[in-house]
Structures are given as C-alpha cells and as structure tokens.
Amino acid sequence: MKKISLTGIKPTGSLHIGNYFGAIKPALELCERFDARYFIADYHALNTMKDAQSLRRATLEIAALWLACGLNPEKTVFYRQSLVPETFELSTILAAFTSKGLMNRAHAYKAAVEANTAKGNDPDSGINMGLFTYPVLMAADILLFNADYVPVGRDQTQHVEMARDIADVINHTYNKELLTLPQAWVHDSAGVIPGLDGRKMSKSYGNVIALSLPEKELRKTIMRVVTNSQGVDEPKDTENCRVFALYKLFSASKEDEEALAKRYRSGGMGWGEAKEELFNAANRVLKPIRERYENLISNPQEIDRILREGSQKAREIASQTISRLRNAIGL
C-alpha cells in the first residue's frame, strides 16, 4: 500500500505564483507517490477571520484555485475540515494528552507573546485559545487520517513534530500503535520565489503575481518587475536577475532557458523585451489555470458538491480512527 500524505490548505484569499511553485505544485506532485489527502482548514482560519461572508468566499476561492491547479478529487480525498466532526472529537482526546508546556513552545504563540511584550502590552493580549491550541487541532487533522508524511515549509516542521510527540504519548500510554507517527515532508526545492521588487514574494510586501490575474493585468504586473538601468546593447547577468529567475519557473524546457540566457549574454535585448518573454512563458502556464478557476468560481454549487462528497469519503476514514481510539482508551 502507498504511504499517506496530508496537506492542509488555509482559506486565506487569493494565491500567487510563490504559493503555486513553493507549495501547490510540490503538494500535488505527491499524488504520484502517495495516497494523497487535502483539506480546506476553515476552522483554523477562524483564529484571524471573523467575518462570515469573507470566510465563505475565501473557502470557495481557495478550493477553486487548487482544483484549477490540477487537484483531482476523483483520485484524492479533498474535503472541508468543518464537515468532518471527527476532527474535533479527536482534538478533545488529544488535548488530554498534551502538556501546556508543549503549547507554550509553539512558534506562533511565542511570536505573539514576544510582540505583545515588545509593545509593553500584557503578554497574552489579543491571543485566543484557538491560537494557543492551534497545534492540537493540527495534530488532530494529521493523526485522524493516518498521515505518514505532511508537506510543509521548513518553518512549519514544528507542528508535525508536535503531532508526532502527542501521538507517541498516546501510543505509549496504551502500549498500542493506535496512531501513525507522521513525518514532515519539506518541500523547499523551488527555493525563494522573488517578488516584483526582488524581496521574497509575499502578500505582506505587495509584490506578488496573483495566480488568477486576467491576461492584461498579468502583463501589466510583469512589466512592473524592478530591473537595473542597463541599456539595450549591454550584456546582462542571468544569475542576479529576477526577470530571468521568474522565467525559469515558467519555461517549457532547459533549451528555452538557455536560448534566453544566450540573448542576455549577447546584448541587444532590453528589459521590456525580456519581460515580454517572461509574460509569454507565464501566460502559457497560467492561462489554463485562470480559465478553469473562472469556470469553477462562477459555479459555487459545484465546488460545494466536490467538498461535500470528499468530506463524506474523509469521514469514512476518520470514523475508523475514532472507533479504534475510543475502544482503546475506554470510551
């Protein structure tokens, strides 16, 4: 049997190409090697998103984008966290085996406390229990579905380690392998995706190329990539050029990359022409994603149907874990 991978997707609004190359594409490629499972983490989003309409919209948008990027609900389990109540039963059980000290060490909680302290506020100001117990709920997400691997960025490995620690406590307490011990699958092969201004692409910097941009807006955005002041005739360096770095992500082949690199080194090509090459390569990849996304987001009932059916499949798996655990712990 294939090993199991599990990917959580927080509904945080529009995605950009940094998300695509850094997280979505690597996570979807796991389908070729693992029994892959994906879920929309809408309960996790409640920690920061309190507007009902915004949460519903973000959930639909994020589901549509992942489907548009190639997630196949027929070949995977794709579900909505809030439609699998077994998650919250397991979360309650796990809380009984989780020390407060472990939660105190969680990066997100520590960062919030440090930020409050730096401002002279009460250390726990503005921190809700959802944030504090976030690792327990995430552990429930992971352990409920017997995940062997959880694809995460290098800065998120702590959550998987905590899930493993909690599962190990339960297995040791009852002297049974009740829960699978997960491992983090670090997917940083794409490296840092440069933004329009050269910093890491991030919505907080306002330097992103959104996945669902209309074609004209995509071209305008790419033309805003910051370059140096070299003239048309001057040879250009590919190694420290964000236009070329982005082009490599979208290029159809190594031959295309080398052809553009040769034009860089030879001179005679201005930055406008280089950006046009980037636009053409990016549009070739993003156009089918954009078209599928527009079709899906205009039909929210279809997205809901996919998530409901996927959630039912997820519950069939989850109920087995809960039944096994209930029997072992005496409930």
Q: What is the mean pLDDT of residues 237-251?
A: 93
Q: Of 156 and 75, which is predicted with more confidence?
A: 75
Confidence of residue 23 (pLDDT cuts 50, 70, 90): confident
Q: What is the mean pLDDT of residues 214-231?
A: 95
> What is the reported pLDDT for 188?
59
> What is the reported pLDDT for 156?
82
pLDDT in tens, 49-60: 999 999 999 999
Q: Which helix (H) or strand (E) holds 281?
A: helix 271-297
Q: Which residues contact 276 (CB under 8 A, 6 or more apart)?
A: none
> What is the reported pLDDT for 153?
77
Q: Do residues 180 and 147 touch, judged by C-beta distance below 8 A?
A: yes
> What is the reported pLDDT for 190?
52
Q: Which amino acid is at 153?
A: G
Confidence of residue 303 (pLDDT cuts 50, 70, 90): very high
Residue 141 has pLDDT above 90, yes or no: yes
Q: What is the mean pLDDT of residues 251-277?
A: 94
Confidence of residue 42 (pLDDT cuts 50, 70, 90): very high
User: Using CA of residue 38, residue 44, residue 48, residue 54, what is the dihedral sign?
Assistant: positive
| 79-88, 113-122, 181-190: range with lowest mean pLDDT | 181-190
Select from 21, 23, 20 the least CA-distant residue to 7: 23
Q: What is the mean pLDDT of residues 176-189?
A: 87
Strand 149-152, strand 77-80: pairing: unpaired
pTM of the model: 0.91
State the Cα angle at 133 between 122 and 34, rounded to 5°. Answer: 140
Q: Quick one: how far is CA 69 from the chain centroid?
A: 13
Q: Which helix (H) or strand (E) holds 37?
A: strand 35-40
Q: Of 91 and 153, which is predicted with more confidence?
A: 91
Helices (runs of H) and strands (runs of E) counted in the chain:
15, 5
State the Cα angle at 291 between 188 and 279, rounded to 5°. Answer: 60
What Å distances lie between residue 46 and 55, 56, 106, 300, CA to CA?
A: 8, 11, 18, 21
Distance CA 288, CA 291 (A): 5
DSSP three-state, residue 119: coil
Tokens of 242: 């964000």
Select from 114, 122, 166, 119 the least CA-distant residue to 144: 166
Residue 189 has pLDDT above 70, yes or no: no
Q: What is the mean pLDDT of residues 5-27?
A: 89
Confidence of residue 14 (pLDDT cuts 50, 70, 90): confident
Task: Supply φ then ψ for residue 34, to 5 degrees.
Answer: -130, 165
Q: Quick one: how far is CA 115 from the chain centroid?
A: 25
Average pLDDT, the chain: 93
